[in-house]
């Protein structure tokens, strides 16, 4: 993590820039994702030379026609990634010639590890909430480890497997 010289709270500045400019999170959503206060996010955005958009300043909302992310039928959040992004190879849903959609939790872990994830690598949501994509809620596993985890959870509640 990169640390701002004038403050003790650590914020990954590259991740913040990516979340705000490319994923399209509001400052409030970025604060929740990075687990810091909204004031810290506004300070770091200022350090990065990024100013708040009018709609965010006034309402805390993205424009009504924003199409950079959506929730699929299984409850996962997908985000748009341009084709020239090094993580575009992880996408499966092509969005014309402008890019691909990638499940947000997989993209967050890949960016944190600074490498694309293999299709066989599973990103597990520890709390079971597919929309909770904070890094401390995500765990990288093999398919085998993931299956064992869920089988053990079923056995713990008395389900025979």
CATH of the domain at 61: 1.10.10
Q: For the chain, how many structural domains are there in total?
A: 2
Instruction: Fill in the DSSP letter of residue 8.
Output: S
Of 84, 86, 80, 77, the residue nearest 137 (C-alpha): 77
Which residues, in sequence order, are CB contacts of 112 under 8 Å at separation 6+? 15, 135
The pTM of the full predicted model, rounded to 2 decimals, is 0.59
In what helix (H) or strand (E) does residue 146 lie, and over which residues does it extend?
A: helix 143-156
Q: Of the candidates 30, 50, 66, which is a domain's last residue?
A: 66
pLDDT tier at 67 (50, 70, 90 boundaries)?
A: low
How much is the pLDDT for 108? 94
Within this chain, do residues 84 and 122 fall inside the same structural domain, yes or no?
A: yes
How much is the pLDDT for 84? 86
Within this chain, do residues 59 and 121 fall inside the same structural domain, yes or no?
A: no
As a whole number of angstroms, the distance between CA 9 and CA 44 comes to: 10
Among the listed ranges 51-55, 70-74, 114-118, 148-152, which one has the minimum average pLDDT value?
51-55
How much is the pLDDT for 94? 62
Within this chain, do residues 52 and 20 fall inside the same structural domain, yes or no?
A: yes
| β-strand pairing of 93-95 with 69-71 | unpaired
Convert the pLDDT of each residue in 107-160 to its tens digit.
999 999 999 999 899 999 999 899 899 999 999 999 999 999 888 888 888 877
CATH number assigned to the domain comprising residue 158: 3.90.75.20
Average pLDDT (14-37) is 84
Range of the domain at 117: 67-161
Which residues, in sequence order, are CB contacts of 12 under 8 Å at separation 6+? 1, 2, 34
Calculate the average pLDDT of the chain.
81
Within this chain, do residues 56 and 79 fall inside the same structural domain, yes or no?
A: no
- Is the pLDDT reported for residue 96 higher than 50? yes
Within this chain, do residues 15 and 33 fall inside the same structural domain, yes or no?
A: yes
């Amino acid at each position: 993590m990169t640390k701002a010289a004038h403050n003790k709270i650590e914020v990954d500045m590259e991740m913040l820039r990516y979340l705000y400019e490319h994923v399209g999170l509001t400052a409030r959503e970025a604060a929740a994702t990075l687990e810091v206060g909204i004031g810290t996010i506004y300070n770091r955005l200022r350090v990065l030379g990024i100013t708040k958009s009018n709609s965010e300043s006034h309402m805390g909302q993205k424009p009504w026609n924003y199409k950079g992310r959506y929730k699929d039928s299984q409850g996962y959040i997908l985000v748009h990634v341009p084709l020239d992004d090094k993580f575009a190879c992880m996408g499966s849903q092509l969005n014309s010639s402008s890019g691909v959609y990638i499940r947000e939790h997989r993209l967050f872990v890949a960016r944190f590890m600074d490498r694309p994830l293999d299709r066989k690598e599973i990103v597990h949501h520890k709390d079971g909430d597919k929309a909770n994509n904070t890094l401390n809620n995500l765990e990288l596993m093999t398919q085998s480890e993931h299956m064992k985890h869920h089988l053990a959870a079923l056995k713990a509640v008395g389900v025979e497997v």
